[in-house]
Structure 1
């Protein structure tokens, strides 16, 4: 297992720590765990591309780790009544569709589409919104809705690129 894949795997390990800390009102520690997960996401991709260590395993596990972390975040925010139910449903629906769709396509041998700039921007917006919501800052939910809309735009773009890539193959 290479370093980028180990960093990706570390994000799976961080999920329960985040959940336990947040649910026990250790907000700052939970946020630190979340930001650490975000940093490892950036770092694993950077190292993999820079050193030529991009693998099929990493390409599948990296977005899965991201989506599972995001599902954990929105679930605990919902449980603590910080996140509106409608936002939870929209985000959970999109994340679950992406996880299930990616798994089905991967195991059927289809080529996957790498993250695009809109998807990366969505992630940054989500982190800003979540940070604001953690500290009950103004505008957190509004920023989150911007991220949700952008995530659906990114999903449409991924789907169109996926169709094009796999039609040509």
Structure 2
């Protein structure tokens, strides 16, 4: 256990805090909790990379903490009627797909794609969308749809990166037991 991993665990602990604050009617304060969680993500990544403290468990827990917090935020915005169900559905599908896909392939010994600039940018854009929605900007929902489109593009990029990191076994397609005359 090191400082970056403790910050990741703190992010998990902030999820119920966010939910409690949000549903107590303090939506803007809940956004502040969400922002603190986002800042711990930046801080833990910086510390892990700059101090050589990156761990395998951290590499797995960090994106899980990010996606869990995002799912909590989306769920709270949906339940409160602040975002349309279609947008929430698309966000859930992406986040749950990324979590389950990463876990599935990790436990089957496949290499998983580490967080990259596009993924980090997507997260920042989602935070901006939530900020606009929480503070009731006129274009908040339109911006959210833009981010959903952008996140779909980044998901396709992740899929191509995954396939490049895990090429098919060429022997899988070979015809066995056949000899040519």
Which residue does the alignment assign to 1:6? 6
- CA–CA separation in structure 1 for the residues paired with 2:90 and 2:168: 32
Could you say which structure has the higher helix fraction? 1
Unpaired runs of 5+ in structure 2? 170-181
RMSD of aligned C-alpha atoms? Answer: 1.3
Matched, 1:57 2:95: no
- CA–CA separation in structure 1 for the residues paired with 2:86 and 2:79: 13
Which residue does the alignment assign to 1:42? 42
Q: Secondary structure at the match of 1:108?
A: coil
Contact 1:118 1:150 in 2 (8 A): no
Which residue does the alignment assign to 1:140? 140
TM-score normalised by the chain length of structure 2: 0.90
Which residue does the alignment assign to 2:20? 20
Q: Secondary structure at the match of 1:167?
A: coil
Contact 1:129 1:144 in 2 (8 A): yes
- CA–CA separation in structure 2 for the residues paired with 1:154 and 1:127: 16
- CA–CA separation in structure 1 for the residues paired with 2:168 and 2:59: 20
Which residue does the alignment assign to 1:72? 72
Q: Secondary structure at the match of 2:94?
A: helix
Deviation of 1:28 after TM superposition, in Å, equals 2.5
Deviation of 1:131 after TM superposition, in Å, equals 0.7
Deviation of 1:54 after TM superposition, in Å, equals 1.1
Q: Secondary structure at the match of 1:136?
A: coil
- CA–CA separation in structure 1 for the residues paired with 2:153 and 2:116: 11
Q: Which has the greater radius of gyration?
A: 2
- CA–CA separation in structure 2 for the residues paired with 1:114 and 1:6: 19
- CA–CA separation in structure 1 for the residues paired with 2:127 and 2:168: 36
Which residue does the alignment assign to 2:31? 31
What does 1:91-102 correspond to in 2, within 5 Å?
A: 91-102=91-102
- CA–CA separation in structure 2 for the residues paired with 1:12 and 1:163: 30
Which residue does the alignment assign to 2:129? 129
TM-score normalised by the chain length of structure 1: 0.96
Deviation of 1:168 after TM superposition, in Å, equals 8.4
